[in-house]
Structure 1
Amino acid sequence: MAKVTTGSGDTGYTGLLGSQRVPKYDPRPDTFGTVDEATSALGLARAVAQDQTVKDILFRVQQELYVLMGELATPPEHYETLGLRMTKEHVAQLEQIEEELKSKVEIPNKFIIPGDTVDGAALDLARTIIRRAERMAVKLLHDGVIQNGEVVRYLNRLSDLIFILARYIEVTSSLAQRPER
């Protein structure tokens, strides 16, 4: 059985991949912790979603975010031994899904007030957390803490995808709820 409580964080430090320990408020754990928060918000959206395609997209994204968190938790001296990292292909796959969804739903050219549907609102909440993670990752990139710009590009495209997915859900939900005439 997995050991949940290690006690090693009781002094306010956490481990990166490898032996390095940093304060829990260090920008790296702060950023991958925010990505973890986004992953949980996406899990909530997946749990309440009715559309299987949406559920499948969200599950795949959640898996990819674990790769991204692993990359953020890897100190520079271990980066070359990291087997997985965010790539241009990850970003291209998000862009492809975006285009497929945009062909099925019109994206309004106005600000959206979240809350038309529970699953759409859950996605909008996840999107805002992803945007915060993106801002934090940009700081890591600009400060030279991380070198892979695909991390930032992935988070940027992901927030766009989640916005589109929320609109898709709201449109398909409203169509499903219309009475037949």
Structure 2
Amino acid sequence: MAKVTTGTGDTGYTGLLGAARVPKYDPRPDTFGTVDEATSALGLARAASKDQKVKNIIQQIQKELYLLMGELATPPENYEKMGLRMTAEHVQHLEQVEEELKQEVEIPNKFIIPGDTLDGAALDLARTVIRRAERMAVKLLHDGVIENTEVVRYLNRLSDLIFILARYIEVKSSLAELPE
């Protein structure tokens, strides 16, 4: 059985992948912790959704976000050994899914007030957390803490995709409510 409580964080430090330990408020764990929040919000959306296509898209994204968190948790001296990195292919996949969804739903040219459906609202919450993670990752990139620009590109595209996915869910939900 996995040991959940280790006590190693009781002094306010956390481990990166490798031997490095940093304060819990360090920009790295702050950023991957924010990505973890987004993953949990996506999990809420996945649990609330009745659409298997939506569930599959969200679960794939959650898996990719674990890869992204691993990359953020890898210090420069271990980066090449770990092999954890976001790639242009990850970004391209998001763009492909985005285009497929836009073929099925028209995106309104107006501000959206979240809350039409539970799963759509959970996705909108996840989107805002992803945007925060993106801002934090941009700072890491600009400060030279990370070098992979695909991390920022991925988070940027992901927030767009999640916005579209929320609208997709809401449109599908409203169509299901129409009388036959």
Distance 1:92 1:69 in 2: 19
Matched ranges for 1:2-151 at <5 A: 2-151=2-151
- Other-structure match for 1:175: 175
What is the alpha-carbon root mean square deviation over aligned residues? 0.4
User: Deviation at 1:168?
Assistant: 0.2
Q: TM-score, normalised by structure 2?
A: 0.99
Q: TM-score, normalised by structure 1?
A: 0.99
Distance 1:50 1:84 in 2: 32
Unaligned runs of 5+ in 2: none
Unaligned runs of 5+ in 1: none
Secondary structure of residue in 1 paired with 2:119: helix
- Other-structure match for 2:155: 155
User: Deviation at 1:142?
Assistant: 0.2
User: Deviation at 1:84?
Assistant: 2.4
Q: Which runs of 4+ in 1 moved over 2 A?
A: none
User: Deviation at 1:83?
Assistant: 2.1
